[in-house]
């Protein structure tokens, strides 16, 4: 059975890092809408330029654009045996659209990574990203932070334009307003689980594996929606 996973959580919760680790562990693709949008920005396409202006204001790209991007990606061959969505859905409207896209496929497993707001502000204020490939530096990678070089491609690590204090707080407000209601949308599903994201990265990774295994048990038991 395909393993179809959604990672929820506010900016700075560690969704990207944990999704990448879990994807490698399970041999399924990590599908990050953020990565796809940054590729469009780098290419200078019309949608990329629109997305860049929106993201730098700490706002979210429209549901219509995001649904089209994700639907095309999920139809590729490498996603047939499963995937991890990082950064989508961000709104209840997107979640409903995703449910339609997923019709006839294995149920979604939803993991919500929970982190206190003060810790999120601290993390985002010190976060570094590669100017070349867009990869977020692992906070535990002391060498990367010391050399300011990406461990993936060797590019220069810089602070994201949307990680300054004012924009960080605006992004968290946008999350609370638009994205947090997803927890209520998914909460009653037997494949929904919450994980404490304030723990050390290795502990979060272990808790994630356990949570997914429990959710898979709900699917196998025939109780998933």
Residue 57: inside a domain, yes or no? yes
Question: Which residues participate in catalysis according to the annotation?
Answer: 15, 90, 127, 160, 171
Residue 144: inside a domain, yes or no? no
- How would you classify the pairing of strands 157-158 and 129-130? antiparallel
Residue 94: inside a domain, yes or no? yes
Residue 198: inside a domain, yes or no? yes
DSSP codes of every residue in 139-172? TT-HHHHHHTB-TTT-PBEE--GGGSHHHHHHHH
CATH number of the domain bearing residue 198 = 3.40.50.300
pLDDT in tens, 30-57: 988 777 777 677 778 777 787 788 878 8
Counted domains in the chain: 1
- Check: pTM over 0.95? Answer yes or no: no
Range of the structural domain that residue 186 is part of = 3-116+166-220
Residue 200: inside a domain, yes or no? yes
151 vs 123, which has greater pLDDT?
Answer: 151
Residue 127: inside a domain, yes or no? no
Is the pLDDT reported for residue 222 higher than 60?
A: no
Residue 89: inside a domain, yes or no? yes
Is the pLDDT reported for residue 165 higher than 80?
A: no
The pair of three-digit structure tokens given for residue 183, joined into one six-digit string: 């927890």
Residue 109: inside a domain, yes or no? yes
């Amino acid at each position: 059975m395909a393993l179809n996973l959604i990672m929820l959580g506010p900016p700075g919760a560690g969704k990207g890092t944990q999704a990448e680790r879990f994807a490698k562990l399970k041999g399924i693709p990590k599908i990050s809408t953020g990565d796809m949008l940054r590729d469009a920005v780098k290419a200078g396409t019309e949608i990329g330029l629109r997305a860049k202006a929106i993201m730098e204001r700490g706002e979210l790209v429209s549901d219509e654009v995001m649904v089209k991007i994700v639907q095309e990606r999920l139809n590729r061959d490498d996603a047939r045996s499963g995937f991890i969505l990082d950064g989508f859905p961000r709104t209840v409207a997107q979640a409903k659209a995703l449910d339609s896209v997923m019709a006839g496929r294995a149920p979604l497993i939803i993991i919500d990574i929970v982190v206190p707001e003060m810790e999120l502000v601290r993390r985002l204020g010190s976060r570094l990203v590669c100017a070349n490939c867009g990869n977020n530096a692992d906070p535990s990678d002391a060498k990367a932070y010391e050399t300011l070089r990406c461990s993936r491609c060797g590019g220069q690590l810089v602070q994201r334009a949307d990680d300054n204090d004012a924009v960080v707080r605006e992004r968290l407000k946008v999350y609370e307003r638009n994205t947090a209601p997803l927890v209520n949308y998914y909460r009653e599903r037997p494949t929904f689980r919450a994980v404490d994201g304030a723990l050390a990265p290795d502990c979060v990774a272990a808790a994630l594996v356990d949570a997914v295994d429990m959710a898979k048990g709900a699917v196998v038991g025939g109780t998933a929606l």
